[in-house]
Amino acid sequence: MVCEVKALACQLPAEVGLPFSRFSREDLRAAVIGRGIVAKISGATIWNWLSEDAIRPWSHRSWIYPRDPNFAEKAGRVLDLYERQWEGRALLADEYVVCADECAGLQVKRRLHPTAPPQPGRPMRVEHEYQRLGTLAYLAAWDVHKAKLFGRVESRATIAAFDGLVGQFMAQEPYRSARRVFLVVDNGTIHRGQRAIQRLQAQWPHLVVVHLPVHASWLDQVEIYFSILKRKVLTPNDFPSRQAAITRILNFQAYYQEIATPFKWTFTRADLKRLLAKLDMRQAA
């Protein structure tokens, strides 16, 4: 009986003829009784049974299957760089790995009433209604092994803005006189493809642009910093002006640089191989 309940919970409702997208606890209880698996059962009992195997059919997460035919090869090169390897050789001391990307379309909001600080027994209060103050683009670069952070705020994410970010760190030491600087980027419009490689290397010949596979921004370490920024600075979104938002973002960047250490990246080529094998099995099924 327990196995039958768990088997039902591991199916999509549409597969068993039910007109909704995911099960709630009460949906499962009704389905179990309706199918005659049991005559009577409580939602709490179903919850306890499913908890034994961490089955939560009422929750969901987004997922993108790799569709780049060279996903393993492209992702593997980046994972090697994180371990200071390139084409089977260890990087030298004057070779650096930098990840770069942009947060485009950041909305700047001003709440119609001031945000109230927390009080005993009461959390911070943020007014629901707001005035839009436009959007910003924050571009940042992260030295994977040196924990150096570079960034700039622009009105829009453009090729000129991205090239300005690259020039921001490439024009200073140790990157200016480095043997090579590996720049890890995703396939965003402003740094996509061979044209971006040619454009950037025309300015900085010792820059090696390394593109991630399509839909693999999760392998870009600067995204970790962006997640920190969004939690610490942009949530809740309440700024008196656009300039106040710019100032806070850049001040946080300076603050974070003072305390930054390299991220403890643990995902390796071996993990990638296991993940892709698992996805292949799912697609075959």
Quote the strand ranges of the chain, DSSP E.
85-86, 89-90, 95-111, 130-143, 149-154, 180-185, 207-211
Cα distance from N-terminal residue to C-terminal residue, the chain: 26
Instruction: Please compute the mean of the pLDDT values over residues 99-123 and round it to a whole number.
Output: 94
- Does one domain contain both 129 and 181? yes
Q: What is the pLDDT of residue 279?
A: 82
The C-alpha atoms of residue 276 and residue 268 are separated, in whole angstroms, by 12
What is the model's pLDDT at position 68?
A: 85
Same domain, 11 and 87: no
Is residue 279 a part of any domain in this protein? no
Same domain, residue pair 8 and 136: no
**Are 186 and 261 found together in one domain?**
yes
Q: Is residue 171 part of a domain?
A: yes
Q: Is residue 285 part of a domain?
A: no
Domain match, 44 and 88 both: no
Residues 41 and 94 in one domain: no
Read off the pLDDT of each residue in 101-113 and give the average, rounded to a whole number.
95
Instruction: Count structural domains, the chain.
Output: 2
Residue 61 lies in a domain: no
| pLDDT > 90 in the chain, percent | 83
Is 28 within the bounds of a domain?
yes
Structure tokens at 4: 């039958």
Residues 41 and 141 in one domain: no
Instruction: Please check whether residue 204 lies inside any domain of the structure.
Output: yes
What are the tens digits of pLDDT across the range 189-246? Answer: 999 999 999 999 999 999 999 999 998 989 999 999 999 999 999 999 999 999 999 9
CATH number, position 161: 3.30.420.10
pLDDT value of residue 285: 65
pTM of this structure: 0.84
Q: Does residue 99 lie within any of the structural domains?
A: yes
Domain co-membership, 129 together with 226: yes
**Residue range 159-181: average pLDDT?**
97
Domain carrying residue 27: 2-51
Indicate whether 95 pLDDT > 80: yes
Q: What percent of the chain has pLDDT over 70?
A: 100
**Mean pLDDT along residues 255-278:** 94
Tell me how far apart the alpha carbons of residues 141 and 184 are, in angstroms, rounded to a whole number: 9
Burial degree of 125 (CB within 10 A; 0-12, 13-18, 19+): middle
119 with 219, same domain: the answer is yes
pLDDT (tens digit, 9 = 90+) per residue, 50-75? Answer: 999 999 998 988 877 788 889 999 99
- What's the rounded mean pLDDT across residues 150-158? 97
What average pLDDT does the segment 104-121 reach?
A: 93
Is there a domain that residue 283 lies in?
no
Same domain, 198 and 152: yes
* Pair (36, 102) in one structural domain: no
| Token pair 């009704």: residue | 30
Q: How far apart are CA 209 and CA 213, in angstroms?
A: 13
**Do 112 and 191 fall within a single domain?**
yes
